[in-house]
Amino acid sequence: MTLKPGESWRYETPAGQTAGWLAVSSGEVMLDAPASAGEMIIFDDSDRAIEMRSTGEVDAKLVIGSAAPHPHSLHLGNYSVHTSAEALKAGERHIMDLHKELIERERQPPPHSSGPVPVLR
């Protein structure tokens, strides 16, 4: 969204959506604290309305979002997010297997035909 300098806006968070964030791409906004271009704000666990005002000399451009919290503990990997440690290990192992397969394909001479491009799954 874009707020002109001095313009205010109120985000009415839907009931039950207590996970909220805001990212500013340009300009400045004042919430409970100031936020400027390149910053991201993570809100407290609440579904209260979020009020903001553009405080800079230029338009404030931002993205705001909210959601219901995920019902499971999340396990974070280098390339993926899973709901269990076992699923994370399997997912990361699959990514490494695909990486190895790509490296092996790069070592092979290119095919002489113009057939379909292989798809890795």
| Look-up of token digits 């990361």 | 92
Over the chain (121 residues), the average pLDDT of each successive run of 10 is 97 92 96 94 90 96 93 84 90 91 82 65 66
pLDDT tens-digit readout, 50-64: 999 999 999 999 999
Q: Identify the DSSP state of 118.
A: P
Share of the chain above pLDDT 90, in %: 61
Read off the pTM.
Answer: 0.61
Task: For residue 20, report the phi and psi dihedrals to the nearest 5 degrees.
Answer: -135, 150
C-alpha angle 18-21-41 in degrees, rounded to nearest 5: 125
Q: Distance between CA 45 and CA 19 in Å, rounded? A: 6
